[in-house]
Amino acid sequence: MKILNVTISDWANFSHDNANALRSVGLNCQDVKTNPHSFKYAQESVILRQEGIRAKMIESDIIQIFHTDVSMLNILKTIDYSKKRIFVYYCDSRYRSNPTLYNDLFNPIVEKSIIALCEFAGLGAKNETYMVGAIDVKNTPKFGHEIKEPYKIGHYPSNFEVKGTEQIIEMIQKVTSYYEFQYSVDKVSHFEQQKRMNACDIYVELFKPILNGKQYGSWGITALEAAAAGKIVVTQNLNNEVYIKNYGNCPLILCDTEQDFINNMNKLLSLSKLEISQLQTETYNWVSEKHSYIATGKKLKQILNL
């Protein structure tokens, strides 16, 4: 059984980590794409031209199309895919912008639609299944950060407009407790991102209730990376009940409103160093148990009926 993950651009290494999760539980999965990632991950999917991807599709049994990638769907349509099992992953702004359009394109082709964000639940995708991205917890570097007062809050967005950086900065200034805030919108390599994330105690991933006129606010891979680094994570999750139904409770600090954010930050900053450490450990254990490569690979085997 040969599995192929395909996309043009693999945002946040999502497809590559999915493939690693499948490989971690003994499945034969290749992951390919056409564009290298600007964050310079230590490892990422194999780069191929579209004709090379087409050849890989022909020899595969299961094809997983990531990031609502219509270009990969168009390549698929040039081969005989009648005996192949096709899956699509919705985890991007394309699907958010026009779910009806993409449902019309993918629903006739795919066996299941896998949504990676709770906000996409109930939008009409065929055989909708919710699954979070995978994270390489075991090999996430640790740099020996020591908890000291004042506690350090970090925010290093991959996209400052999507992550709500401007509003986060405004809200942080309204927090009355003692703290040190470190942020930057500069793009750096993935390794450098991990280093600066490690230098904080609390990581603020996201606060963006509205994006392009639509409800928004779903944590992503950065939240998993911060958790794997052993940080307390402050973020959002629209339709969090979808997560709870599929995975149970999680220790991420969720904020629906500005006042939620301010209250939660003041509460966290009032904790003792031992309490901060305990919450960090709880967050790390959660991501290890629920979203590591092996945990995700086992869940994927069930989703793919393998």
DSSP the chain: -EEEEEESS-GGGHHHHHHHHHHHTT-EEEEEESS--TT--SS-PEE--HHHHHHHHHH-SEEEE-TT-HHHHHHHTTS--TTSEEEEEE-SHHHHH-HHHHHHHHTTT-SEEEESSGGGTTS--TTEEE-PPPB--TT---------SSPEEEE--SSHHHHTHHHHHHHHTT--S--EEEE------HHHHHHHHHT-SEEE----SEETTEE--B--HHHHHHHHTT-EEEE-BTTHHHHHHHH-----EE-SSHHHHHHHHHHHHTS-HHHHHHHHHHHHHHHHHHHBHHHHHHHHHHHTT-
Q: Please give the pLDDT value at position 144.
A: 72
Q: Please give the pLDDT value at position 176.
A: 92
Q: How confident is the model at residue 212 (pLDDT cuts 50, 70, 90)?
A: confident
Q: Please give the pLDDT value at position 164.
A: 94
Q: How confident is the model at residue 271 (pLDDT cuts 50, 70, 90)?
A: very high
Q: How confident is the model at residue 306 (pLDDT cuts 50, 70, 90)?
A: very high
Alpha carbon distance 225, 220 (integer Å): 9
Residue 296 near residue 15 (C-beta atoms within 8 A) = no
- Percentage of the chain surpassing pLDDT 70? 100
Alpha carbon distance 125, 102 (integer Å): 8
The domains located in the chain, with CATH, are 2-130 (3.40.50.2000), 152-291 (3.40.50.2000)
Q: How confident is the model at residue 220 (pLDDT cuts 50, 70, 90)?
A: very high
Q: Which residues contact 32 (CB under 8 A, 6 or more apart)?
A: 4, 5, 6, 45, 46, 47, 48, 52, 53, 56
Q: Please give the pLDDT value at position 145.
A: 82
Q: Tens digit of pLDDT for each residue in 55-84? A: 999 999 999 999 999 999 999 999 999 999
Alpha carbon distance 232, 200 (integer Å): 9
Q: Please give the pLDDT value at position 39.
A: 82
When comparing pLDDT for 141 and 299, which is higher? 299
Q: How confident is the model at residue 142 (pLDDT cuts 50, 70, 90)?
A: confident
Residue 41 has pLDDT above 90, yes or no: no
Q: Please give the pLDDT value at position 217.
A: 92
Residue 115 has pLDDT above 90, yes or no: yes
Greatest CA separation for the chain: 63
Alpha carbon distance 21, 194 (integer Å): 21
When the pLDDT of each residue in the chain is averaged and rounded to a whole number, the result is 95
